Amino acid sequence: MNSGEKKQPLELLREVGLLAAIAFAIGSVIGSGIFKKPGLMASQLESPLLLLLVWVVAGLMTLFGTLSIAEISGMFPQAGGQYIYFNKSYGDFYGYLYGWAVFIVIQTGSIASIAYVFSDSLGYFFTFPRLGPAWESFALHIPWVGAITPFKFIGLKGCTILLILFLTAVNYLGVRFGSAIQVIFTGLKIGVILALVVLAFAIGHGSLANFTQSAVNFSGGYAPVFLAFIIAMSGAFWAYDGWINLTYLAGEIKNPQKNMPRAMIIAAVVFISVYLLINLAYFYIIPVQEMGSKYLAAESTGQSYLVATDVASSLFGGWGGSLIAVAIMISTFGTVNGTLMMSARVYYAMAREKLFFRKLQHVHPRFRTPGPSLIVQAAWTSILILSGTFDQLTDMLIFVSWIFYAAAALSVIVLRRKMPDHERPYRVWGYPLVPVLFIIFAAVYVVFTLYSDIANFTSGRAPLINSLLGLLLVAAGIPGYLFWKRKKNKEAT
């Protein structure tokens, strides 16, 4: 090589096959939501048939979104996924805002939340150490976010951080290590859930009458029921969230033009089916009204209520709680692994475009993984965990996430017009109806969320308007874009 010739940066290797890609797509969705949300949803909408409809509608919308994004994933099989798609569709400013939101809290906050659930479930078997009252009461107050309590539940937080550091190290050492863990734990979590379903119907003392018993009546009109339906749907969407994450890993998937769309669609069908089956088992064993009342009773005392634990206890007695705690640990372990592995590719892609910290574009010469990106992600996630604010921050950006989801589906239409001759190994089924329906639904969901947040704030039920604060959190990244864009332009001249 000539001394004046510029050295080409190392590239990521395509080592993820179709099976591992499916495991990543499923594993990033099925986490703690299916265990934690049904009780809350039952308290919001006391009807088994309407609750099943919630899961079906949310699943169909997730599938429509998946079908839409699958087309673009075949067009641009590059690391960073959705960040790259937004760059192609709307320009680098919108792409940067998405990447910034992913880094600052959407994905890092999600990793923190899921890892925290793992540690909380581990705490079922022993008590984590805690500091004295003076240390735990120490707090820093941040306007609009809340109190930061770094020393509160320090043992639980320490376990959560150790999990993230361990899985970051595993994925730092190579894609094959992370892929192997993902395949194993995705298989385990599906096996555990399906086993619970089979046993519930085979040996559980349930009743088919539970599927028709409803506390919902329409004497007050359909509007209150529709409102409760939409509110309950938020829980289902939380459980389905993560369906877009596989796109981040596109730069390391073998034969990505074909395997990316296949993996996304197969995974969507699998996790939608699994969710419907486990909810049928829940309803068969425990009446919906009982689920809702137990959830509210637990909430009033500051405790958590898991429908799955009730179901397992009815099958196995005192062992039920332990078995569900293990099931949650298996499920969340795989979800954390897949989410942190895939998300790090977004910051790597941003750095490659010279719109983020340049060090994050480096690939480890031996392991061929985006090491700096993984490390920085783990550091920021650990800070969020210590702060104790990740749940509040994640709530703020749920609203923003759905704006990005709508824009993602719209980009299918934009690119059909902008790049009509670009190769499309997969074309979305039902175009343009499927992406349009998803866009309309996402828009309605965004408007309703904003309306609900404002109503809760004005009535005093909530201290903040989370949706608007989510927009401010995204806008906080604009100075960074101006800085890196100006620096990029100077280097180009």
Q: What are the pLDDT digits (tens) for 12-69? A: 888 899 999 999 999 999 988 898 899 999 998 889 999 999 999 999 999 999 999 9
**pLDDT tier for residue 323 given thresholds of 50, 70 and 90:** very high
Q: Which CATH number fits domain 18-492: 3.30.2010.30, 3.40.50.11720, 1.10.10.1100, 1.20.1740.10?
A: 1.20.1740.10
Question: Tell me, what's the pLDDT at 105?
Answer: 87
Q: How far is CA 24 from the centre of its chain?
A: 12
Domain ranges of the chain: 18-492
Q: Who's near 398: CB < 8 A, 6+ residues apart?
A: 234, 238, 449, 466, 470
Q: Residue 153: which of 165, 161, 145 has the closest Cα?
A: 161
Contact predicate 285/44, CB 8 Å: no
pLDDT at 270: 95
What would the two tokens of residue 441 be? Answer: 């639904």
- Side chain identity, residue 405: Y
Is residue 426 pLDDT above 50, yes or no? yes
> What is residue 1's predicted lDDT score, i.e. its pLDDT?
47
For residue 182, pLDDT over 80 is answered with yes
CA distance 25 to 244: 8
**241 has a pLDDT exceeding 70:** yes
- 3-state DSSP of the chain: CCCCCCCCCCCCCCCECHHHHHHHHHHCCCCCHHHHHHHHHHHHCCCHHHHHHHHHHHHHHHHHHHHHHHHHHHHCCCCCCHHHHHHHHHCHHHHHHHHHHHHHHHHHHHHHHHHHHHHHHHCCCCCCCCCCHHHHCCCEEECCCEEECCCCCHHHHHHHHHHHHHHHHHHHCCHHHHHHHHHHHHHHHHHHHHHHHHHHHHHCCCCHHHHCCCCCCCCCCHHHHHHHHHHHHHHHHHHHCCCCHHHHHHHHECCHHHHHHHHHHHHHHHHHHHHHHHHHHHHHHCCHHHHHHHHHHHHHCCCCCCHHHHHHHHHHHHHHHHHHHHHHHHHHHHHHHHHHHHHHHHHHHHHHCCCCCHHHHCCCCCCCCCHHHHHHHHHHHHHHHHHCCHHHHHHHHHHHHHHHHHHHHHHHHHHHHHCCCCCCCCCCCCCCHHHHHHHHHHHHHHHHHHHHHHHHHHCCCCCCCHHHHHHHHHHCCHHHHHHHHHHHHHHHC
Q: Mean pLDDT throughout 413-426?
A: 93
**Distance between alpha carbon 369 and the CA centroid of its chain, in Å?**
22
In this structure, the chain runs to a length of 493
Given this model, what pLDDT does residue 253 score?
92
Q: Which of 147-161, 259-273, 324-338, 448-462 has the lowest mean pLDDT?
A: 448-462
Predicted pLDDT of residue 436: 96
Residue pLDDT, tens place only, 191-240? 999 999 999 999 988 899 999 887 776 656 677 788 888 888 888 988 99
The mean pLDDT of the chain is 89
Q: Which residues, 6 or more positions from 472, have their beta carbon under 8 angstroms from its beta carbon?
A: 144
Give the pLDDT confidence score for residue 20 in this predicted structure: 94
Of residues 459 and 94, which shows the higher confidence score? Answer: 94
Cβ(253)–Cβ(14) below 8 Å: yes
221: left (phi over 0), alpha (psi -120 to 50) or beta: left
pLDDT band per the 50, 70, 90 thresholds, residue 457: confident
Q: Residue 445 — very low, low, confident or very high, per pLDDT cuts 50/70/90?
A: confident
Q: What is the average pLDDT across 84-92?
A: 94
Task: Encode pLDDT of 48-58 as tens digits.
Answer: 999 999 999 99
Backbone angles phi, psi at 310, to 5 degrees: -60, -45
Residue 141 has pLDDT above 50, yes or no: yes
pLDDT tens-digit series, residues 250-307:
889 999 888 989 999 999 999 999 999 999 999 999 999 999 999 999 888 877 788 9
CA angle 223, 214, 310 (to 5 degrees): 120
Radius of gyration of the chain (CA): 23
Q: pLDDT exceeding 70 applies to what percent of the chain?
A: 97
- pTM of the predicted model over 0.85: yes
Residue 253: φ, ψ to 5°? -95, 135
